[in-house]
Amino acid sequence: MDAFFISVEFSKLNMPSYKLIYFPITALAEPIRLLFNYAGIEFEDERFDKEDWPKLKPTMPFGKVPVLEVDGKKVHQSAAISRYLAKQCGLAGKNDWEALEIDSTVDTIHDLRATIAGFHYESNEQAKEEKEKVAKEETVPYYLERLDAQVKKNGGYFIGGAVSWADLTFVGLLDYLNFMMKKDIVEEYENLKQLQKKVEEIPAIKRWMEKRSGAVWP
């Protein structure tokens, strides 16, 4: 056995044990699942029933999920988890400036998600209607137009003309965003549509998406 294969086998032996804990849906955990699959990192994909959440919640850091267990140590915050994995598989930028641009884009994507969730989860019907109108007519198009232009400017990806964890975050969240918006939000944005297609055609991600039947929202 040559030195390369010895090194690979040694790395596998020293790989941490990963467990991702979340509801049986895509939503906030899906970008993390895409990163695991992109990198070929084995992980336990633990999905609990909604009815079990009241019992599990006190055992989670700050009572939220997704949570990643790394050798039994729990950590929360989906973006932080994704950044941690992205650094391990070369998707966090080639230098500090790219890393900053990627982080900024991911935060913007989550701002978009928060805008959509803001009306989707609103319980007051009058407030919900008002928030939905502003989001659909103003805020969401504002974000999507600029994200689409960013992809066009950067060679078909968000940053640096190459796939990064910002791209996987956006595509991983699309099912969730589309569900809340009740439409395909990238249908009118050609550059975002092509970005989605490119990410979903990455062989490891394509295999994951083909086998994840029953895992999408809701």
pLDDT per residue as tens digits for the range 179-212: 999 999 999 999 999 999 999 999 999 999 998 7
Percent of the chain residues topping a pLDDT of 90: 89
Output the six-digit token pair for 62: 């700050």
Which parts of 61-115 are beta strand (E)?
Answer: 67-70, 73-76
Is-contact 134 124, C-beta < 8 A?
no
Is-contact 82 35, C-beta < 8 A?
yes
CA end-to-end span of the chain: 47
Question: How would residue 102 be classed by pLDDT, with cut points 50, 70 and 90?
Answer: very high
Question: How would residue 217 be classed by pLDDT, with cut points 50, 70 and 90?
Answer: low
Instruction: Specify whether domain 96-202 bears CATH 1.20.1050.10.
Output: yes
Output the six-digit token pair for 78: 């989906």
Which whole-number Å values give the CA distances from 84 to 10, 36, 168, 189, 198, in the listed order?
21, 11, 14, 30, 23
Higher pLDDT pick, 3 / 24: 24
Q: Where in the chain is the domain with CATH 3.40.30.10?
A: 3-89+207-211
Is-contact 169 157, C-beta < 8 A?
no
User: For 51-70, what is the mean pLDDT?
Assistant: 97
Instruction: Assign a CATH topology to domain 3-89+207-211.
Output: Glutaredoxin (3.40.30)
User: Quick one: DSSP state of residue 81?
Assistant: H
User: Quick one: DSSP state of residue 17?
Assistant: P
Q: How far apart are CA 38 and CA 1, in angstroms?
A: 26
Q: Where in the chain is the domain with CATH 1.20.1050.10?
A: 96-202
Tens digits of residue pLDDT in 11-32: 455 789 999 999 999 999 999 9
Is-contact 59 23, C-beta < 8 A?
no
User: Quick one: DSSP state of residue 214?
Assistant: T
SS3 19: strand
